[in-house]
Structure 1
Amino acid sequence: MSFTEQLRQENHDIFERIFHHPFVEGIGNGRLPSESIAHYIKADYEYLNAFMHIYGIAISKSSEREDIQYFNEQVNFVLHSEVHPHHNLCEYIGIRYEDLQGYPLPPTADHYVKHMMYHAQMGGLGEIIAALLPCPWTYLEIGRYLMEEYEPDQDHPFYPWIKFYAESEMQILTDHLRSRLDHLAEQASEKELSRIRDAFRKSCQLEWSFWEMAYTCEEWIEGKAVDVK
């Protein structure tokens, strides 16, 4: 069993919870509150901006040209390809994509970004990949799960979203990151492997929390500052 197969097995519980989250199931059955979709897009737009910055840090820590080229290509993928599922959601709720950009991150998304940034700044390339990998991996499996469970056709309101994440391009992305992490894990110390496992599991947990944040329209608590004298 490869290292990433072990990671998948160790985090099977979280993957299953993600598949059955009401937001994910709502994509499958074609029924989601518009305000939850808007909240998701606002947060995910900023999250993906941060994801590209993490790729940039990965480039700075890469010693192999192949890695540098790969992470550069992934920045391009986020900029030009991963906007398509956002457009599908925007069309469903009748709001322009541009009108959902530039909003502050809700608490969970803010924490997720800082979690990835911490491992990117403090860890090596394996740790960075471990923090990044649950995002494409869970989305790939979500797409495959929804295709199998709901069998959507082209009249399904979220068919473009489901098809995008279930397709081979997301499989190729996930497989490449897994292969690279498997290779790096072979050379890692036990201490490094522990940090890699921790980064991966927390990112899986935060993937579930991201769906929950969107579904509940989580916001920062409002209050009035109190002067302390």
Structure 2
Amino acid sequence: MLLTDYLFNEAEEIWDEYLKHPFITEMGKGILDKNKFRRYLIQDYLYLKEYAKLYAMGLVKSDNIEDMKFFQESINGIMEDESATHITYLKNFGEKIDQLEKYKITFENDNYTSYMKGVALTGDLQDLAIAVLPCAWSYYYIAKNMKEKYGDKLEGNFYTSWIESYSCDDYAQCAKENIDFANKVCANIDDKKKEKLKEIFINGSLYEMKFWDMAYKEVK
């Protein structure tokens, strides 16, 4: 069994709860409060800035050009492709993109990104590869399921662009590359390491849930 199959099996209950989360279900139905979505986008924009730093740490920890290329391409994808959907929505909300960093990162967001950076700084390349995986993988998992469930009702849905961007073939490839990279660098690990990586993956999956909880809070 591939390591990522094992990790998914261990975290599957958490991931299935994502699909039932009111932020996700209301997006799929097109009824989510737009102010909640706007706040989520701002926080996710701030998150992506910190998330890209993790891949930058991967550049430093890599021992070969192939791995360095993976991290470099991932940074480009986060900073350019993934941020593009956020920027389009935020511009429509009247936000000035060059001023987004004036917003304060939330407690939940800071806890999650600090956890991942702590793993990346103190751990090895295997730890880092698993720390970044729940985000890259679960967004495709969520959006793919949303597309399958709500696909015939997405016309006119304000959130269609978000769903499409994370369920499209390009993002599917991004998720696959992260999965494949994790399996490659974590090949032939012993049971002790496997348990450590499981803990990192489950913690990351729980932090993802906390992020959705944060996003759904009433806007004050």
Match of 1:138 in 2: 138
Letter in 2 for 1:204: S
Match of 1:107 in 2: 107
CA contact (8 A) 1:35 1:217 kept: no
Match of 1:176 in 2: 177
- CA offsets 1:118-146 (integer angstroms, 9 cap, x no match): 11011111110111011011110111111
In structure 2, distance between residues paired with 1:44 and 1:8: 23
Deviation (angstroms), 1:91: 6.0
Q: Aligned-residue CA RMSD in angstroms?
A: 1.9
CA contact (8 A) 1:41 1:100 kept: no
Deviation (angstroms), 1:48: 0.4
Does structure 1 residue 13 correspond to structure 2 residue 32?
no
Letter in 2 for 1:133: L
Secondary structure of 2:120's counterpart equals: helix
CA contact (8 A) 1:42 1:102 kept: no
In structure 1, distance between residues paired with 2:127 and 2:219: 29
Aligned length: 218
TM-score (norm. length: structure 1): 0.88
Q: Which consecutive residues of structure 2, in runs of 5 or more, have no partner in the other structure?
A: none
1:36-115 residue pairs with structure 2 within 5 A? Answer: 36-90=36-90, 94-96=93-95, 98=97, 100-115=100-115
Shift in alpha-carbon separation, 1:108–1:12, aligned structure 2, 3 A: same
Q: Which has the higher helix share?
A: 2
Percent identical: 25
Secondary structure of 2:145's counterpart equals: helix
In structure 2, distance between residues paired with 1:97 and 1:17: 34
Secondary structure of 2:104's counterpart equals: coil
Moved more, 76-85 or 158-167: 76-85
Deviation (angstroms), 1:156: 2.0
Moved more, 196-205 or 37-46: 37-46
Secondary structure of 2:102's counterpart equals: coil
Deviation (angstroms), 1:104: 1.8
TM-score (norm. length: structure 2): 0.92
Match of 1:202 in 2: 203
